[in-house]
Structure 1
Amino acid sequence: MKGALSWPFLRLYVLTLLYFSANAILNVIIPLKGESLGATNTTIGIIMGAYLFTTMLFRPWAGLMIQKYGPIKALRTILAINGLALLLYTFTGLEGYFVARMLQGVCTAFFSMALQLGIIDALPEKDRSQGISMYSLCASMPGIIGPLLALGIWQAGDMQVFTAAMIAVAILTGGVGYSAKMDNKVAEPAEGKTKQGAAMLKSFSQLIKNPHLFKCSVLMLTASLVFGAVTTFIPLYAAQIQSGNAAIYLMLQAGTVVVARFVLRKKIPSDGKWHSAFVMTNMLILAVAAQAVSFSAIGGAVFFYIGAGLMGIAQALLYPMLTTYLSFVLPQESRNVLIGLFIAMADLGVSLGGVMMGPIADLSSYSTMYMICAILAVSMILFGYDRRLRFVGSR
């Protein structure tokens, strides 16, 4: 196999799958554990949001460090800290969970930036969207079985199984990560670009000044807010829906992401042009998905699971398309840091999905909260249209 499916990249995808497997379990266990301890939706949202909020803060720095030194040097340290974070979950309460989420956030900032920037740098332009899609696919695959395992652990009431699962994931991920070797082209440090460090903080202004980065960031921030609200509160909302099951919902959504990213990976634009119809359709699907989840409180499980499938389609296609587009249009000399800022906006959106939507759920209901998510997605449909954005020769 060649390109994005060659052996060096397959090894990176396997490592990605292992790394994110713990989160697939924690995304269900933490809300349920928090509710059992009497925590409000606001508190649960803050704990869940701490993970990607920390990731957001560290991504630009991670992009700079990886560009300067190369991804392989940081990988072993990252995996050791991640293992420590997973161990914290096994013997602490909500306060310890909050600290562990922050540690995971730091690790994920470096891990995901290392792999995604490595893929972008190593693959030909025509294969970039496939590589990003495969990375995202493997990051999503644990979500197929993880929620079912988590719900089984919780319903069994035996947290020793949870402890064993976290330890096993930490050891297995560390073992594979320490023994893995990146392709030389992937691991090559970007020497000679160290002057970018002095301008890293200045690059934040590009979120507003660069029209390509601004549009992609706003779209991703809004979409990720909806995704974050689903991840955080579906384990609690499902109990209010007749025949609703959080594990089935999350498995269906993750399964749709995996299938769509693999089957449609060649359909994702990889030509440096802005495809308004593609983006607008994705935001429409997201809006319908959120509204279906909202209506399921009245309409029942059918709408609940339809929302899961549609949510998975939107999640599968939007991020790879926007990331690939930015890899073409951003200036080469600052591309890594600016892509880091874009991914940080995705992280911020997921975090806000818990932090902002938690109080809304406390004051109203989960159904109302998801209706607000649908309204936000609708507002992005017209925002996604722009016939002026085209590939520019900034490379």
Structure 2
Amino acid sequence: MSQSDHPFSLPAIKVYLITILFYSIVYMVLMVIPFHATLLGGTKTDIGLIMGATMLTSMFARPIAGRLIDRHGAGRIFWIVLILFAASLFGYLVPSLWMLGLVRIVQGIVAAFFSTAMEIMTIDLLSDRARGQGLSLYSLSTMIPSTFGPAIALYLVDQLTMREIFLIFIGFGLVNAVLAVMMARSTGTGAIKQTMEPQRLAITAPESMWKHRSLWISSIIMLLASIANGAIFTFLPLYLEHRQSSMGSFYFLTQTLVLVLCRFVGRSFIPSDGTTPTRLIGFTLLLAAAGSSLLSVSVQPAILIAAAVLNGIAFALMYPTLLTYVSFTVPDQARGLLLGLFIGAADCGFALGALAMGPLIDLFSYPMMYISCAVCCIVAGLLLWGYKPAPTNQTRTNHTAL
């Protein structure tokens, strides 16, 4: 398989387009599910469990997804899970809360396999020096649907029945599955997989696999920062309602637009040679800490806009930067598994932002909770001192654990 030095090569563009369509369906489904569950007689607790099932399932499924991708190749996995995703959408036609929860669990597994496979495919399709830009553009592709998907879904809810809406989603899912199969045939992505098969099979359980310092430091940093991100998305609307502010939608629109813009413009600033991105990650953590701190101070429009900009820049650059760095430091033989652990840490942090910060609000207050989020980002910044010097090219070639 030849690799491209250009992040806009045709195979890479196909990856981005399939990703955009997949997450367009995901974001539209997220908007529709609460309405559908309510029509089925679901309580607020039922809706919370159903909505949370996907992320929790995805978090635990990522290491398994990575292991299977290491064995069978990302190109083979990605079109299989897209077919499964399209099939799972038919479950929404069954008027049952149990079926709704089951479909969400299946789609959590699909999301884990899909995102891990597509990130590894992006790595495989691009050369080392284009990897940072490619992963940033892939991350951008996952965010673009959030700018229009919810709005389209809410429009459909006002115009169509739930059955008609889900039939449209099924159509989108089938189109995406067909595109994935066509891409696998035309570009040979079914054969995308790392070499050294015997080594891959032999590395499934050695103790040394768990001793990659760069992986674990990066994962803990991402987990702590994601706690702040998860708390913002979960509780900021309630906080603003509590303070009688109507700026919630404007905050999230601003943050999303800043995030999308920075992911595109900032992709060239992401190191793509395996060097430790200490300064860039430290900068983003400071921005995230400042953004959370501002939310604890005031809900005045100017403060909220400033917080949205700071958080948008921080979370736009942090994830693709750490993911790119980790992709260079883990061995190719277990890259899927170890990258899956890193991505799972981000999911875990986002979930903890809702699970752990809720009781903190009950015990203290919303401002204290956002101060705690800022502290998490500062603590994550202190962990940067734990990185060892970046490995040389020869060391990376030999896949030596840090």
Shift of 1:191: 5.8
Name 2:11's counterpart in structure 1.
Answer: 8
Equivalent residue runs for 1:375-386 within 5 Å: 375-386=375-386
Residue 359 of structure 2 is aligned to residue 355 of structure 1: no
Is the 8 Å Cα contact of residues 217 and 387 (structure 2) preserved in structure 1?
no
> What's the Cα RMSD here?
3.3
Structure 1: gaps (5+ residues): none
Name 2:400's counterpart in structure 1.
Answer: none
Shift of 1:130: 0.7
* Equivalent residue for 1:110, pick from 105, 110, 113: 113
Shift of 1:127: 0.4
* Equivalent residue for 2:187, pick from 183, 190, 198: 183
- Aligned AA (1:316): A
- Aligned AA (2:76): K
Shift of 1:382: 1.8
Paired residues, what number? 389
Equivalent residue runs for 1:367-378 within 5 Å: 367-378=367-378
* 1:328-347 CA distance string (max 9 Å, x none): 22223333322222122122
Calculate the TM-score normalised by the size of structure 1: 0.84
* Equivalent residue for 1:274, pick from 267, 273, 276: 276
Change (3 A) 1:366 1:103: farther
Rounded to whole Å, the distance in 2 between the matches of 1:34 and 1:277 is 46
Rounded to whole Å, the distance in 2 between the matches of 1:247 and 1:84 is 33
Change (3 A) 1:250 1:220: same
Calculate the TM-score normalised by the size of structure 2: 0.83
Shift of 1:358: 3.9
Structure 2: gaps (5+ residues): 398-402
* 1:165-219 CA distance string (max 9 Å, x none): 533442443343333336336733346525544643556x745x22111110101
Name 2:59's counterpart in structure 1.
Answer: 56
* 1:122-165 CA distance string (max 9 Å, x none): 31110000110111000010111223344556688975675455
Change (3 A) 1:56 1:27: same
Is the 8 Å Cα contact of residues 21 and 143 (structure 1) preserved in structure 2?
yes
Name 2:204's counterpart in structure 1.
Answer: 200
Residue 28 of structure 2 is aligned to residue 25 of structure 1: yes
Shift of 1:360: 3.9
Name 2:318's counterpart in structure 1.
Answer: 318
Name 2:223's counterpart in structure 1.
Answer: 221
Change (3 A) 1:30 1:112: same
Name 1:71's counterpart in structure 2.
Answer: 74
Is the 8 Å Cα contact of residues 128 and 270 (structure 1) preserved in structure 2?
yes
Change (3 A) 1:83 1:358: farther
Rounded to whole Å, the distance in 2 between the matches of 1:266 and 1:112 is 22
Residue 304 of structure 2 is aligned to residue 299 of structure 1: no
Is the 8 Å Cα contact of residues 221 and 381 (structure 2) preserved in structure 1?
no
Is the 8 Å Cα contact of residues 240 and 248 (structure 2) preserved in structure 1?
yes
Shift of 1:263: 0.6
Rounded to whole Å, the distance in 2 between the matches of 1:210 and 1:305 is 39
Shift of 1:262: 0.8
Shift of 1:116: 1.0
Rounded to whole Å, the distance in 1 between the matches of 2:190 and 2:133 is 16
Is the 8 Å Cα contact of residues 229 and 357 (structure 1) preserved in structure 2?
yes
Percent of aligned pairs sharing the same letter: 32
Residue 131 of structure 2 is aligned to residue 128 of structure 1: yes
* Equivalent residue for 1:39, pick from 31, 44, 52: 44
Change (3 A) 1:48 1:228: farther
Q: Secondary structure at the match of 2:7?
A: helix
* 1:254-275 CA distance string (max 9 Å, x none): 2222111111111111121113
Q: Secondary structure at the match of 1:273?
A: coil
* 1:34-74 CA distance string (max 9 Å, x none): 8995525xx76654443232222222222232232223333
Shift of 1:381: 1.9
Is the 8 Å Cα contact of residues 31 and 232 (structure 1) preserved in structure 2?
no
Name 2:250's counterpart in structure 1.
Answer: 248
